[in-house]
């Protein structure tokens, strides 16, 4: 290696690490099911920590289970340059969502160890608790508590569908740490991630420079109908909660089309009660996810949804509850971090383009605390939150190389 610009990660090592971690909670279709704070999440956390220990890192865990793995710098007074993501997955998740950001960070550190490169500032890798929100809401819980946006007690009280709460589950798996969330300095934060969309692949670009993230609102909607026997009850006097809910679900998608091309509208979770074959549904609870990169437009979408629900409630003479459970305004990342990512990609010879993220990430909360930037790589066919989620080995390596040089620009290699 003639200069620091020649420094590269080992893509094969990173790829193998991703495959090994994916075995914990691996599914028959090649994906991963490792829900937050389950036994499998505990096993995944321990696997990552063991890898960090082999790299000589200092490890700490805070009261919400966020775990930090630090490589010391020459100047211990400097705040660490941090990277990371999450290792919890969707029920039918893939190998790369979140996991890539954590293991790319450890690969950066292993590369520095291999070449004996010291940095002025410490370098730190973190995995955040319950980013996905598929078992507990709110989503991005760990980073939200760390940033002071979500209260610790609020997070502790969150329950899954079986009534188990976050605090008890953290204690059960041994990750109820002592460090107060947020009592942990951060000089800058970078997050490397698969795009989870088709733009980079369609444009044949290797690196996505992320200037911003779409704003999103999550709601729980409950329609209160009336249970009755499916046989004797005539169609014209039924109060079928499911049929009313379907009208609202279709409107959610319609609103997204109304605010095209950047509007998004999704219903992903539905619970029907009593969920019996020969009973007219008396109650339906479902999720609503709406997104847009413009704050005022996102407000318009929300107002349109509220107005429609009020109209349906009046027309059908049923009670409909709409509860907002998460709100993330559109997020713009730090200009210096964005430019460092662009410069690193350019110097490494990778094609690049700006990509606004349609998905939420822990970087949204870290942006409130420190200069923050995100690096995207393509994923096959733009598919994510799916067991067939995939990424090319050369893209995995490229993203980690951009992460390496972006972090070094902030952590500053020590000149010998």
CATH of the domain at 221: 3.30.70.360
How many folded domains does the chain comprise? Answer: 2
Residue 71 and residue 10 in one domain: yes
pLDDT tens digits, one per residue of 138-156: 999 999 999 999 999 999 9
Residue 158 and residue 18 in one domain: yes
Residue 350 and residue 204 in one domain: yes
Among 325, 315, 161, 327, which Cα is nearest to 223's?
Answer: 315
What percent of the chain shows pLDDT beyond 70? 100
| Domain limits for position 372 | 4-214+330-411
Q: Do residues 376 and 357 touch, judged by C-beta distance below 8 A? A: yes
CA distance 221 to 79: 43
**Does any domain span residue 379?**
yes
The reported pTM is 0.83
Residue 305 and residue 317 in one domain: yes
CA distance 313 to 320: 6
Q: pLDDT class for 2, splitting at 50, 70, 90?
A: confident
Give me the pLDDT at residue 414, please.
95
pLDDT tens digits, one per residue of 265-310: 999 999 999 999 999 999 999 999 999 989 999 999 999 999 999 9
Average pLDDT value for residue range 214-241:
96
CA distance 52 to 252: 44
Which of 328, 352, 381 marks a domain boundary? 328
Residue 31 and residue 86 in one domain: yes
What spatial distance separates the first Cα and last Cα of the chain, rounded to whole Å? 14
Q: pLDDT class for 210, splitting at 50, 70, 90?
A: very high
CATH of the domain at 15: 3.40.630.10
**Does any domain span residue 416?**
no
């Amino acid at each position: 290696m003639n200069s620091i610009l020649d420094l590269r990660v080992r893509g094969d090592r990173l790829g193998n690490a991703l495959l090994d971690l994916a075995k914990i909670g691996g599914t028959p279709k090649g994906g991963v099911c490792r829900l937050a704070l389950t036994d499998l999440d505990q096993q995944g956390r321990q696997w990552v920590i063991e890898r960090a220990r082999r790299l000589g890192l200092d490890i700490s865990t805070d009261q919400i289970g966020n775990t930090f793995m630090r490589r010391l710098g020459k100047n211990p007074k400097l705040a660490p340059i941090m990277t990371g993501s999450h290792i919890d997955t969707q029920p039918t998740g893939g190998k790369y969502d979140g996991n890539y950001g954590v293991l790319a960070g450890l690969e950066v550190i292993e590369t520095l160890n291999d070449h004996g490169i010291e940095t002025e500032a410490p370098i730190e890798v973190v995995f955040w608790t319950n980013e996905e929100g598929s078992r507990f809401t709110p989503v991005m819980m760990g980073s939200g508590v760390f940033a002071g946006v979500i209260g610790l007690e609020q997070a502790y009280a969150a329950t899954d569908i079986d009534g188990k709460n976050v605090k008890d589950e953290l204690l059960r798996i041994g990750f109820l740490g002592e460090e107060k969330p947020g009592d942990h300095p951060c000089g800058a934060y970078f997050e490397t991630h698969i795009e989870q969309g088709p733009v980079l692949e369609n444009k044949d670009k290797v690196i996505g420079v992320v200037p911003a993230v779409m704003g999103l609102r999550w709601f729980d909607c409950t329609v209160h109908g009336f249970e009755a026997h499916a046989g004797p009850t005539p169609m014209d006097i039924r109060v079928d909660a499911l049929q009313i809910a379907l009208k609202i679900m279709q409107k959610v998608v319609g609103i997204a089309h109304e605010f095209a091309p950047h509007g998004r509208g999704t219903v992903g979770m539905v619970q029907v009660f009593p969920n019996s074959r020969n009973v007219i549904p008396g109650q339906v609870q479902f999720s609503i996810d709406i997104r847009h990169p413009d704050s005022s437009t996102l407000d318009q979408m929300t107002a349109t949804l509220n107005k429609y629900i009020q109209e349906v409630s009046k027309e059908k003479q049923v009670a409909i509850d709409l509860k907002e459970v998460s709100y993330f305004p559109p997020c713009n990342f730090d200009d210096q971090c964005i430019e460092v990512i662009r410069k690193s990609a350019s110097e490494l010879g990778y094609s690049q383009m700006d990509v606004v993220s349609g998905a939420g990430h822990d970087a949204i909360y870290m942006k409130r605390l420190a200069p923050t930037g995100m690096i995207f790589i393509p994923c096959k066919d733009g598919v994510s939150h799916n067991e067939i989620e995939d990424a090319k080995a050369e893209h995995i390596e490229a993203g980690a190389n951009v992460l390496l040089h972006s972090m070094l620009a902030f952590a500053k290699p020590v000149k010998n």
